[in-house]
Chains A and B, each alone.
Chain A
Amino acid sequence: MTAKSDLTLTVNGERHAIRVEPRRTLADALREDCGLTGTHLGCEHGVCGACTVLVDGEPVRSCLMFAVQAAGKDIRTVEGLAPRGSLHPLQQAFIDHHGLQCGFCTPGFLMLAAGVLAGQPDISDDELLDVLSSNLCRCTGYENIVKAVRAAADKMRPAR
Protein backbone atom coordinates (compact mmCIF):
# COMPACT_ATOMS: atom_id res chain seq x y z
CA MET A 1 0.00 0.00 0.00
CA THR A 2 1.18 3.53 -0.71
CA ALA A 3 -1.14 4.51 2.15
CA LYS A 4 0.33 5.02 5.59
CA SER A 5 0.54 1.98 7.77
CA ASP A 6 0.95 1.49 11.50
CA LEU A 7 4.13 -0.10 12.71
CA THR A 8 6.23 -0.28 15.84
CA LEU A 9 9.94 0.45 15.91
CA THR A 10 11.96 -0.72 18.90
CA VAL A 11 14.70 1.85 19.35
CA ASN A 12 17.17 1.55 22.22
CA GLY A 13 14.75 -0.81 23.91
CA GLU A 14 11.82 1.63 23.71
CA ARG A 15 8.80 0.98 21.53
CA HIS A 16 7.68 3.73 19.17
CA ALA A 17 4.28 3.31 17.53
CA ILE A 18 4.39 5.30 14.27
CA ARG A 19 2.27 5.73 11.16
CA VAL A 20 4.30 6.10 7.93
CA GLU A 21 4.24 5.57 4.19
CA PRO A 22 6.29 2.60 2.88
CA ARG A 23 8.69 5.05 1.22
CA ARG A 24 9.69 6.52 4.61
CA THR A 25 13.34 5.62 5.18
CA LEU A 26 14.40 4.33 8.58
CA ALA A 27 16.54 7.47 8.97
CA ASP A 28 13.59 9.81 8.41
CA ALA A 29 11.35 7.72 10.66
CA LEU A 30 13.89 7.89 13.50
CA ARG A 31 14.24 11.65 13.17
CA GLU A 32 10.75 12.79 12.18
CA ASP A 33 8.46 10.17 13.69
CA CYS A 34 10.39 8.97 16.75
CA GLY A 35 11.92 12.39 17.50
CA LEU A 36 15.42 10.91 17.77
CA THR A 37 17.53 13.48 15.96
CA GLY A 38 20.88 12.08 17.08
CA THR A 39 20.99 10.11 13.84
CA HIS A 40 22.20 12.56 11.21
CA LEU A 41 21.38 12.64 7.51
CA GLY A 42 24.16 13.78 5.21
CA CYS A 43 23.94 12.54 1.65
CA GLU A 44 20.70 10.51 1.77
CA HIS A 45 22.03 8.02 -0.77
CA GLY A 46 24.34 5.74 1.17
CA VAL A 47 27.70 7.39 0.62
CA CYS A 48 28.53 9.40 3.75
CA GLY A 49 27.55 7.02 6.58
CA ALA A 50 26.33 9.80 8.92
CA CYS A 51 23.02 7.94 9.38
CA THR A 52 24.61 4.63 10.47
CA VAL A 53 22.61 2.83 13.17
CA LEU A 54 22.62 -0.73 14.46
CA VAL A 55 19.87 -3.09 13.33
CA ASP A 56 19.96 -6.41 15.18
CA GLY A 57 23.52 -5.54 16.21
CA GLU A 58 24.93 -4.83 12.74
CA PRO A 59 25.78 -1.35 11.44
CA VAL A 60 23.58 -0.32 8.51
CA ARG A 61 22.87 2.92 6.67
CA SER A 62 19.43 3.95 7.82
CA CYS A 63 18.88 5.99 4.64
CA LEU A 64 19.15 2.76 2.61
CA MET A 65 16.44 0.88 4.46
CA PHE A 66 12.73 1.57 4.72
CA ALA A 67 11.22 2.01 8.20
CA VAL A 68 8.69 -0.72 7.45
CA GLN A 69 11.60 -3.14 7.01
CA ALA A 70 12.89 -2.38 10.51
CA ALA A 71 9.66 -3.23 12.34
CA GLY A 72 10.27 -5.97 14.89
CA LYS A 73 14.03 -5.51 14.82
CA ASP A 74 16.34 -4.25 17.57
CA ILE A 75 17.41 -0.75 16.51
CA ARG A 76 20.19 1.10 18.33
CA THR A 77 20.99 4.76 17.80
CA VAL A 78 23.54 7.11 19.32
CA GLU A 79 20.97 8.15 21.95
CA GLY A 80 21.16 4.62 23.38
CA LEU A 81 24.93 4.34 23.42
CA ALA A 82 25.45 5.39 27.03
CA PRO A 83 23.31 5.26 30.12
CA ARG A 84 22.17 8.65 31.39
CA GLY A 85 24.94 10.72 32.95
CA SER A 86 27.93 8.77 31.66
CA LEU A 87 29.73 8.33 28.36
CA HIS A 88 30.37 5.19 26.34
CA PRO A 89 34.12 4.38 26.08
CA LEU A 90 33.92 5.29 22.37
CA GLN A 91 32.41 8.70 23.16
CA GLN A 92 35.05 9.39 25.82
CA ALA A 93 37.81 8.32 23.43
CA PHE A 94 36.52 10.65 20.69
CA ILE A 95 36.82 13.52 23.21
CA ASP A 96 40.24 12.44 24.50
CA HIS A 97 41.74 11.98 21.02
CA HIS A 98 40.02 14.91 19.31
CA GLY A 99 38.06 12.53 17.06
CA LEU A 100 35.58 15.25 16.12
CA GLN A 101 35.39 18.91 15.31
CA CYS A 102 31.95 19.89 13.99
CA GLY A 103 30.42 16.61 15.15
CA PHE A 104 28.06 16.04 12.23
CA CYS A 105 29.56 12.68 11.25
CA THR A 106 30.19 11.57 14.83
CA PRO A 107 26.95 9.62 15.55
CA GLY A 108 27.54 7.57 12.41
CA PHE A 109 31.17 6.83 13.29
CA LEU A 110 30.22 5.92 16.87
CA MET A 111 27.53 3.46 15.81
CA LEU A 112 29.72 1.99 13.07
CA ALA A 113 32.54 1.41 15.55
CA ALA A 114 30.21 0.17 18.31
CA GLY A 115 28.68 -2.43 16.00
CA VAL A 116 31.96 -3.67 14.57
CA LEU A 117 33.81 -3.79 17.92
CA ALA A 118 30.96 -5.77 19.50
CA GLY A 119 31.45 -8.48 16.88
CA GLN A 120 35.25 -8.21 16.53
CA PRO A 121 36.78 -6.99 19.81
CA ASP A 122 40.24 -8.07 18.61
CA ILE A 123 40.01 -6.34 15.22
CA SER A 124 43.38 -5.75 13.54
CA ASP A 125 44.62 -2.27 12.60
CA ASP A 126 44.19 -3.03 8.89
CA GLU A 127 40.64 -4.30 9.32
CA LEU A 128 39.76 -1.31 11.50
CA LEU A 129 41.06 1.08 8.86
CA ASP A 130 38.95 -0.71 6.24
CA VAL A 131 35.85 -0.44 8.44
CA LEU A 132 36.40 3.25 9.22
CA SER A 133 36.82 4.02 5.51
CA SER A 134 33.04 3.46 5.30
CA ASN A 135 32.15 6.91 6.62
CA LEU A 136 33.06 10.45 5.61
CA CYS A 137 34.47 13.13 7.93
CA ARG A 138 35.41 16.54 6.52
CA CYS A 139 37.06 17.96 9.67
CA THR A 140 39.48 15.57 11.30
CA GLY A 141 41.40 13.98 8.47
CA TYR A 142 40.47 10.63 10.06
CA GLU A 143 43.74 10.10 11.94
CA ASN A 144 42.20 11.04 15.28
CA ILE A 145 39.09 8.99 14.63
CA VAL A 146 41.27 5.92 14.03
CA LYS A 147 43.25 6.69 17.21
CA ALA A 148 40.05 7.15 19.23
CA VAL A 149 38.46 3.90 18.07
CA ARG A 150 41.73 2.01 18.61
CA ALA A 151 41.97 3.36 22.15
CA ALA A 152 38.34 2.56 22.90
CA ALA A 153 38.75 -0.96 21.50
CA ASP A 154 41.69 -1.59 23.83
CA LYS A 155 39.65 -0.31 26.79
CA MET A 156 36.47 -2.22 25.88
CA ARG A 157 38.18 -5.57 25.31
CA PRO A 158 37.20 -7.92 28.13
CA ALA A 159 40.12 -8.70 30.44
CA ARG A 160 41.40 -12.26 30.16
Chain B
Amino acid sequence: MKPAPFTYHAPTTVDAALAVLAEVGPQDGRVLAGGQSLLPTMAFRLARPAHLVDINGIAALSDMRNEAGELAIGACVRHAAFHRPVSDGPLGKLLSAVVRHIAHYPIRVRGTFCGSLAHADPASEWALVAATLGATVVARSRNGTRKIASDRYFKGPLMTDLKSDELLAEARLPLLPGDTRLGFYEFSRRAGDYAIAMSLATFRVRDGRIVEPRIGVGGAEGVPRRILAAEQALAGQTPTENAFGGAADAAAAAVDPMEDAQASAGYRRDLVRTVVHRALRQAAL
Protein backbone atom coordinates (compact mmCIF):
# COMPACT_ATOMS: atom_id res chain seq x y z
CA MET B 1 0.00 0.00 0.00
CA LYS B 2 2.94 2.35 -0.57
CA PRO B 3 3.37 4.21 -3.88
CA ALA B 4 6.29 3.15 -6.10
CA PRO B 5 9.21 5.58 -6.36
CA PHE B 6 8.92 8.55 -8.71
CA THR B 7 10.77 11.74 -9.50
CA TYR B 8 9.04 14.79 -8.03
CA HIS B 9 8.83 18.16 -9.76
CA ALA B 10 7.26 21.24 -8.18
CA PRO B 11 7.21 24.10 -10.69
CA THR B 12 5.90 27.45 -9.44
CA THR B 13 4.82 28.95 -12.79
CA VAL B 14 2.70 27.59 -15.64
CA ASP B 15 5.58 28.07 -18.10
CA ALA B 16 7.90 26.07 -15.87
CA ALA B 17 5.26 23.32 -15.55
CA LEU B 18 4.86 23.16 -19.35
CA ALA B 19 8.63 22.92 -19.78
CA VAL B 20 8.84 20.02 -17.32
CA LEU B 21 5.83 18.30 -18.91
CA ALA B 22 7.38 18.62 -22.39
CA GLU B 23 10.35 16.69 -21.04
CA VAL B 24 8.83 14.12 -18.66
CA GLY B 25 5.26 13.82 -20.02
CA PRO B 26 6.31 11.35 -22.74
CA GLN B 27 8.36 9.43 -20.12
CA ASP B 28 5.31 8.42 -18.09
CA GLY B 29 5.05 11.74 -16.29
CA ARG B 30 1.73 12.73 -14.71
CA VAL B 31 0.30 15.96 -13.39
CA LEU B 32 -0.48 15.94 -9.66
CA ALA B 33 -3.32 18.30 -8.75
CA GLY B 34 -5.55 17.27 -5.81
CA GLY B 35 -4.32 13.69 -6.02
CA GLN B 36 -7.52 12.24 -4.53
CA SER B 37 -7.86 9.69 -7.36
CA LEU B 38 -4.20 9.46 -8.37
CA LEU B 39 -2.83 8.65 -4.90
CA PRO B 40 -5.19 5.70 -4.24
CA THR B 41 -4.29 4.19 -7.63
CA MET B 42 -0.61 4.71 -6.80
CA ALA B 43 -1.11 3.13 -3.37
CA PHE B 44 -2.52 0.04 -5.10
CA ARG B 45 0.30 0.34 -7.68
CA LEU B 46 -2.27 0.36 -10.46
CA ALA B 47 -0.45 3.55 -11.45
CA ARG B 48 3.33 3.81 -11.23
CA PRO B 49 4.18 7.13 -12.86
CA ALA B 50 7.92 7.75 -13.31
CA HIS B 51 7.49 11.49 -12.74
CA LEU B 52 4.93 13.62 -10.91
CA VAL B 53 4.56 17.28 -11.82
CA ASP B 54 2.94 18.89 -8.78
CA ILE B 55 0.99 22.00 -9.86
CA ASN B 56 -0.25 22.95 -6.38
CA GLY B 57 2.45 25.59 -6.02
CA ILE B 58 1.29 27.54 -9.09
CA ALA B 59 -0.85 30.35 -7.64
CA ALA B 60 -2.29 31.43 -11.02
CA LEU B 61 -4.05 28.07 -11.42
CA SER B 62 -6.34 28.69 -8.41
CA ASP B 63 -8.20 31.44 -10.27
CA MET B 64 -11.92 31.27 -10.94
CA ARG B 65 -13.69 34.07 -12.80
CA ASN B 66 -16.73 34.97 -14.91
CA GLU B 67 -15.58 36.00 -18.35
CA ALA B 68 -17.42 36.48 -21.64
CA GLY B 69 -20.48 34.51 -20.56
CA GLU B 70 -18.43 31.65 -19.14
CA LEU B 71 -17.21 30.51 -15.75
CA ALA B 72 -13.47 29.85 -16.09
CA ILE B 73 -12.22 27.33 -13.53
CA GLY B 74 -8.45 27.07 -13.01
CA ALA B 75 -6.65 23.73 -12.68
CA CYS B 76 -6.20 24.01 -8.89
CA VAL B 77 -9.73 25.13 -7.94
CA ARG B 78 -10.89 22.60 -5.32
CA HIS B 79 -14.28 20.91 -5.18
CA ALA B 80 -14.90 22.71 -1.86
CA ALA B 81 -14.85 26.06 -3.68
CA PHE B 82 -18.33 25.17 -4.96
CA HIS B 83 -19.95 24.45 -1.57
CA ARG B 84 -21.41 27.96 -1.72
CA PRO B 85 -22.71 29.21 -5.10
CA VAL B 86 -19.78 30.73 -7.04
CA SER B 87 -22.00 32.94 -9.18
CA ASP B 88 -25.50 34.35 -9.08
CA GLY B 89 -27.91 32.51 -11.30
CA PRO B 90 -28.52 28.89 -12.13
CA LEU B 91 -24.93 27.72 -12.79
CA GLY B 92 -23.69 28.59 -9.29
CA LYS B 93 -26.76 26.92 -7.79
CA LEU B 94 -26.26 23.82 -9.93
CA LEU B 95 -22.57 23.43 -9.02
CA SER B 96 -23.27 23.77 -5.29
CA ALA B 97 -26.01 21.12 -5.51
CA VAL B 98 -23.80 18.70 -7.46
CA VAL B 99 -20.66 19.10 -5.33
CA ARG B 100 -22.40 17.49 -2.34
CA HIS B 101 -22.43 14.21 -4.24
CA ILE B 102 -18.66 14.18 -4.75
CA ALA B 103 -16.98 11.83 -2.30
CA HIS B 104 -16.70 13.34 1.20
CA TYR B 105 -15.76 16.66 2.80
CA PRO B 106 -11.99 16.04 3.28
CA ILE B 107 -11.71 14.76 -0.31
CA ARG B 108 -13.49 17.89 -1.55
CA VAL B 109 -10.95 20.02 0.34
CA ARG B 110 -8.10 18.62 -1.82
CA GLY B 111 -9.63 17.31 -5.07
CA THR B 112 -10.02 19.66 -8.02
CA PHE B 113 -12.67 20.28 -10.69
CA CYS B 114 -10.16 20.08 -13.53
CA GLY B 115 -8.49 17.01 -12.01
CA SER B 116 -11.84 15.20 -12.24
CA LEU B 117 -12.04 16.06 -15.95
CA ALA B 118 -8.43 14.95 -16.51
CA HIS B 119 -9.03 11.65 -14.68
CA ALA B 120 -12.30 11.12 -16.61
CA ASP B 121 -13.85 8.49 -14.39
CA PRO B 122 -17.20 7.49 -15.97
CA ALA B 123 -18.83 8.19 -12.59
CA SER B 124 -17.40 11.71 -12.24
CA GLU B 125 -20.08 14.28 -11.45
CA TRP B 126 -18.02 17.14 -12.92
CA ALA B 127 -17.47 15.19 -16.13
CA LEU B 128 -21.26 14.83 -16.44
CA VAL B 129 -21.69 18.57 -15.84
CA ALA B 130 -19.04 19.34 -18.47
CA ALA B 131 -20.57 16.98 -21.04
CA THR B 132 -24.16 18.14 -20.48
CA LEU B 133 -23.51 21.88 -20.48
CA GLY B 134 -20.93 21.76 -23.29
CA ALA B 135 -17.78 22.80 -21.44
CA THR B 136 -14.56 23.84 -23.12
CA VAL B 137 -11.34 22.28 -21.88
CA VAL B 138 -8.27 24.50 -22.24
CA ALA B 139 -5.16 22.36 -22.75
CA ARG B 140 -1.76 24.04 -22.70
CA SER B 141 1.63 22.75 -23.73
CA ARG B 142 4.89 24.37 -24.78
CA ASN B 143 3.56 24.24 -28.34
CA GLY B 144 0.54 26.39 -27.58
CA THR B 145 -3.05 26.30 -26.33
CA ARG B 146 -5.86 24.03 -27.55
CA LYS B 147 -9.53 24.54 -26.75
CA ILE B 148 -11.32 21.20 -26.75
CA ALA B 149 -15.11 20.90 -26.79
CA SER B 150 -16.44 18.41 -24.23
CA ASP B 151 -17.98 16.14 -26.91
CA ARG B 152 -14.51 15.65 -28.41
CA TYR B 153 -12.66 15.61 -25.09
CA PHE B 154 -13.95 12.43 -23.40
CA LYS B 155 -12.70 9.35 -25.29
CA GLY B 156 -13.53 6.47 -22.95
CA PRO B 157 -13.27 5.37 -19.31
CA LEU B 158 -10.22 7.25 -17.92
CA MET B 159 -9.33 8.31 -21.48
CA THR B 160 -9.33 11.86 -22.81
CA ASP B 161 -8.02 13.88 -25.74
CA LEU B 162 -5.20 15.31 -23.55
CA LYS B 163 -1.69 14.59 -24.76
CA SER B 164 1.10 13.55 -22.40
CA ASP B 165 2.81 16.95 -22.55
CA GLU B 166 -0.42 18.93 -22.03
CA LEU B 167 -1.71 20.54 -18.86
CA LEU B 168 -5.46 20.87 -18.43
CA ALA B 169 -5.05 24.51 -17.41
CA GLU B 170 -8.69 25.57 -17.24
CA ALA B 171 -12.25 24.39 -17.80
CA ARG B 172 -14.91 26.79 -19.05
CA LEU B 173 -18.63 26.34 -18.39
CA PRO B 174 -21.28 28.47 -20.08
CA LEU B 175 -23.20 30.69 -17.64
CA LEU B 176 -26.83 29.65 -17.97
CA PRO B 177 -29.73 32.03 -18.71
CA GLY B 178 -31.55 33.10 -15.54
CA ASP B 179 -34.72 31.13 -16.31
CA THR B 180 -32.92 27.82 -16.89
CA ARG B 181 -34.55 24.95 -14.98
CA LEU B 182 -32.11 22.44 -13.47
CA GLY B 183 -32.32 18.98 -12.02
CA PHE B 184 -29.63 16.54 -10.90
CA TYR B 185 -30.17 13.04 -9.56
CA GLU B 186 -27.56 10.44 -8.64
CA PHE B 187 -27.94 6.86 -7.48
CA SER B 188 -25.12 5.29 -5.45
CA ARG B 189 -25.13 2.60 -2.79
CA ARG B 190 -23.75 4.75 0.01
CA ALA B 191 -23.39 8.50 0.64
CA GLY B 192 -20.31 9.74 -1.20
CA ASP B 193 -19.88 6.56 -3.23
CA TYR B 194 -19.38 6.37 -6.99
CA ALA B 195 -22.53 6.90 -9.03
CA ILE B 196 -23.98 3.76 -10.60
CA ALA B 197 -26.08 6.10 -12.72
CA MET B 198 -26.83 9.82 -12.60
CA SER B 199 -28.49 12.45 -14.72
CA LEU B 200 -28.32 16.19 -15.18
CA ALA B 201 -31.28 17.82 -16.94
CA THR B 202 -31.73 21.45 -17.95
CA PHE B 203 -34.40 23.19 -20.01
CA ARG B 204 -36.29 26.47 -20.39
CA VAL B 205 -40.02 26.99 -20.77
CA ARG B 206 -41.42 29.26 -23.52
CA ASP B 207 -45.17 29.74 -23.82
CA GLY B 208 -45.69 26.67 -21.69
CA ARG B 209 -43.45 24.47 -23.90
CA ILE B 210 -40.01 23.01 -23.15
CA VAL B 211 -37.18 24.53 -25.20
CA GLU B 212 -33.42 23.92 -25.26
CA PRO B 213 -33.58 20.65 -23.33
CA ARG B 214 -30.28 19.07 -22.31
CA ILE B 215 -30.30 15.63 -20.76
CA GLY B 216 -26.95 14.18 -19.70
CA VAL B 217 -26.32 10.70 -18.32
CA GLY B 218 -23.19 9.67 -16.39
CA GLY B 219 -21.98 6.58 -14.59
CA ALA B 220 -23.94 4.26 -16.87
CA GLU B 221 -21.72 4.25 -19.96
CA GLY B 222 -17.94 4.57 -20.38
CA VAL B 223 -18.27 8.28 -21.08
CA PRO B 224 -20.79 10.84 -19.82
CA ARG B 225 -22.84 12.30 -22.67
CA ARG B 226 -26.02 14.03 -23.73
CA ILE B 227 -28.78 11.66 -24.80
CA LEU B 228 -30.18 13.29 -27.93
CA ALA B 229 -33.10 10.87 -28.28
CA ALA B 230 -34.33 11.89 -24.83
CA GLU B 231 -33.90 15.58 -25.60
CA GLN B 232 -35.89 15.16 -28.83
CA ALA B 233 -38.65 13.40 -26.92
CA LEU B 234 -38.86 16.36 -24.56
CA ALA B 235 -38.49 19.37 -26.89
CA GLY B 236 -41.76 21.21 -27.52
CA GLN B 237 -43.69 19.24 -24.87
CA THR B 238 -45.41 20.77 -21.88
CA PRO B 239 -43.47 20.03 -18.66
CA THR B 240 -45.66 17.20 -17.40
CA GLU B 241 -45.09 13.78 -15.82
CA ASN B 242 -46.08 12.23 -19.12
CA ALA B 243 -43.42 14.11 -21.08
CA PHE B 244 -40.77 13.37 -18.45
CA GLY B 245 -41.63 9.67 -18.48
CA GLY B 246 -41.35 9.60 -22.27
CA ALA B 247 -37.93 11.24 -22.20
CA ALA B 248 -36.78 8.84 -19.46
CA ASP B 249 -37.92 5.85 -21.55
CA ALA B 250 -36.09 7.26 -24.56
CA ALA B 251 -32.90 7.66 -22.50
CA ALA B 252 -33.11 4.10 -21.18
CA ALA B 253 -33.53 2.79 -24.74
CA ALA B 254 -30.62 4.87 -26.07
CA VAL B 255 -27.86 3.97 -23.61
CA ASP B 256 -25.41 1.10 -23.87
CA PRO B 257 -24.82 0.46 -20.16
CA MET B 258 -21.61 -0.86 -18.61
CA GLU B 259 -21.65 -4.12 -16.72
CA ASP B 260 -19.46 -4.55 -13.64
CA ALA B 261 -19.39 -6.07 -10.16
CA GLN B 262 -21.74 -3.35 -8.90
CA ALA B 263 -24.54 -3.63 -11.43
CA SER B 264 -25.65 -5.53 -14.52
CA ALA B 265 -26.35 -3.73 -17.79
CA GLY B 266 -30.09 -4.31 -17.37
CA TYR B 267 -30.12 -2.87 -13.87
CA ARG B 268 -28.17 0.18 -15.05
CA ARG B 269 -30.66 0.67 -17.91
CA ASP B 270 -33.52 0.69 -15.39
CA LEU B 271 -31.57 3.14 -13.25
CA VAL B 272 -31.03 5.45 -16.24
CA ARG B 273 -34.79 5.63 -16.71
CA THR B 274 -35.23 6.46 -13.02
CA VAL B 275 -32.44 9.04 -12.68
CA VAL B 276 -33.47 10.90 -15.85
CA HIS B 277 -37.09 10.97 -14.71
CA ARG B 278 -36.13 12.26 -11.25
CA ALA B 279 -33.72 14.87 -12.62
CA LEU B 280 -36.48 16.18 -14.90
CA ARG B 281 -39.01 16.21 -12.07
CA GLN B 282 -36.58 18.19 -9.95
CA ALA B 283 -36.00 20.64 -12.81
CA ALA B 284 -39.75 21.25 -13.04
CA LEU B 285 -40.07 22.22 -9.36
- Residues of chain A touching chain B, judged by Cβ–Cβ distance below 8 Å, are 1-2, 21-23, 25, 28, 44-46, 49, 52, 58-61, 63-66, 68-69, 112, 116, 130-131, 133-135
Contacts and interface: CB of A to CB of B under 8 A. Distances in A.
B209 interface: no
A63 B42 CA distance: 11
Contacts of B39: 25, 45-46, 63-66
A22 B107 contact: no
Given A23-B3, A63-B43, A64-B40, A49 B110 contact: no
B44 to A, nearest CB: 7
A4 to B, nearest CB: 11
B85 to A, nearest CB: 16
B70 interface: no
Interface of B: 1-8, 10, 35-36, 39-40, 42-44, 52, 54, 56, 80, 100, 104-107, 109-110, 191-192
Contacts of A68: 8, 10
Nearest to A47: B40
Nearest to B106: A59
A64 B107 CA distance: 9
A133 B43 contact: no
Contacts of A134: 104-107, 192
A116 B43 contact: no
Contacts of B110: 60-61, 64-65
B8 A1 contact: yes
Given A116-B105, A133-B191, A46 B36 contact: yes
A61 B107 contact: yes
B105 A130 contact: yes
Contacts of A133: 104, 191-192
B52 A44 contact: no
A25 B42 CA distance: 11
A64 B1 contact: no
Given A46-B107, A49-B104, A130-B100, A22 B6 contact: yes
A157 B104 CA distance: 24
6 smallest beta-carbon distances between A and B, as pairs? A22-B8, A134-B104, A45-B40, A44-B1, A2-B5, A23-B3
A130 B191 contact: yes
A112 B106 contact: yes
Given A44-B1, A58-B106, 18 more contacts: A1-B7, A2-B7, A22-B5, A23-B3, A23-B5, A46-B39, A46-B40, A58-B80, A61-B36, A61-B106, A66-B35, A68-B10, A130-B100, A131-B105, A133-B104, A133-B191, A134-B105, A134-B107
